[in-house]
Amino acid sequence: MDIAALNDIATRMVEPGKGILAADESTGTIGKRFDSIGTENTEDNRRDWREMLFRTQPAMENYISGVILYDETIRQDAKDGTPLRKLIEDCGAIPGIKVDKGITALAGRPGENITQGLDGLRERLAEYYELGARFAKWRAVIEISHPDQYVGSTPTRGGLKANNHALGRYAALCQEAGIVPIVEPEILMGGHHSVERCHEVTEKTLNSLFTELYEQGVALEGIVLKPNMVVAGKKCTLQPSREEIAERTIKVLKDTVPAAVPGIAFLSGGQENEEATRNLDMMNKIGGFPWKLTYSYGRALQQSALFAWKGQEKNYDAAQTAFNHRAKMNGLASLGEWSADIDAEVDA
């Protein structure tokens, strides 16, 4: 393991003013997004959509440090025959790859899931390295049960340990292969839970995660953490202010994440586009932490561009304008320089 080389990649992934584009939607997930714009879910349409994003300037050069790809995409060529991964590299960004194989029910833990994909991962990582991937992503899914559900409430200690153990094994295999692991323990925000409950569960989750990473021999200098922000569930009647979200998230991170970690790239977790930008910006305005705080957004970077594109070539320029704008806004947020007034100026 070359820790210095891993650290160099991880540091580039969280370069100030830039963040990570999550373009690793499975075929089924991107199909749902295409349904929302009346576009058929074909291999050509998936290629055209992602090629459009990867050719967007100045977004890709100025505001995107890396792109998480799906297995299909890392093997695809653009219409002119250029490998899609080369379009990313030519912009100075780093190609990455999603390596988990989705979630399944965790045996003996009703209401909890476990992420699959460890079998054969060493061999797949070696192939992805040859294909140009220099970082990878593995997502663990943690769900908070309804606050009135006192019997069998989730997450359990065993459920957290199982998911974080898998993240630790994945991360160790990545580093063995010369690939930086993004470790992503996502606490879903769709429930009824309060911000206080999210704070508590996020703290427990991250403490468990770093115990597992240590026990698996993972070099923290060569990872990027991709956590949720500390927010209330969408169905909770009492929603916190952006100041409370920022303060609680920073406190949890300071209490759990070692300073050796180069950076933290938040998932958007279903937040609205501007909401995800605003919350990241508020944390960076507060400051005072040892790691870089940036974004690893999928829908929150792509949604406005998707709606502008509508699957039609004639809308190519409009879609790129929308993507440029959201990328620029999140780049500003990663520096603590965003404002609602700037966001209202679609001048990308």
Tokens of 332: 């500003």
Residue 348: pLDDT above 50? Answer: no
Closest CA to 75 of 67, 83, 87: 83
The one catalytic residue in 143, 184, 212, 292 is 184
Is 184 one of the annotated active-site residues of the chain?
A: yes
Please state the rounded mean pLDDT for residues 255-283. Answer: 97
Task: Quote the DSSP letter at residue 327.
Answer: H
Residue 62: pLDDT above 60? Answer: yes
Residue 147: pLDDT above 90? Answer: no
pLDDT in tens, 274-321: 999 999 999 999 999 999 999 999 999 999 999 999 999 999 999 999
Please, are residues 99 and 128 in contact by the beta-carbon 8 Å criterion? yes
Strand boundaries in 70-165, DSSP class E: 94-98, 103-105, 113-115, 135-142
The one catalytic residue in 18, 98, 137, 226 is 226
Largest CA distance in the chain: 58
Spans of all domains in the chain: 3-343
Is 310 one of the annotated active-site residues of the chain?
A: no
Q: How far is CA 101 from the centre of its chain?
A: 16
Long-range contact set of residues 245-250: C-beta below 8 Å, sequence gap at least 24: 245/195, 245/279, 245/282, 246/279, 246/282, 246/283, 246/285, 246/286, 247/286, 248/195, 248/199, 249/202, 249/279, 249/283, 250/283, 250/286, 250/288, 250/289
- Spatial separation of the C-alpha atoms in residues 260 and 310, rounded to whole Å: 43
pLDDT at 339: 97
pLDDT at 150: 47
Please state the rounded mean pLDDT for residues 225-232. Answer: 98
Residue 241: pLDDT above 50? Answer: yes
Residue 242: pLDDT above 80? Answer: yes
Tokens of 155: 């997450």
- Spatial separation of the C-alpha atoms in residues 10 and 265, rounded to whole Å: 11
Please state the rounded mean pLDDT for residues 24-53. Answer: 97
Closest CA to 270 of 335, 338, 189: 189
pLDDT at 252: 98
What is the CATH number that goes with domain 3-343?
3.20.20.70
pLDDT at 152: 61
Range name among 190-194, 214-218, 289-293 with the lowest pLDDT average: 190-194
Residue 81: pLDDT above 80? Answer: yes
Would you tell me the crossing angle of helices 316-333 and 273-286 to the nearest 10 degrees?
30
pLDDT in tens, 328-347: 999 999 999 999 999 998 65
pLDDT at 148: 60
pLDDT at 313: 93
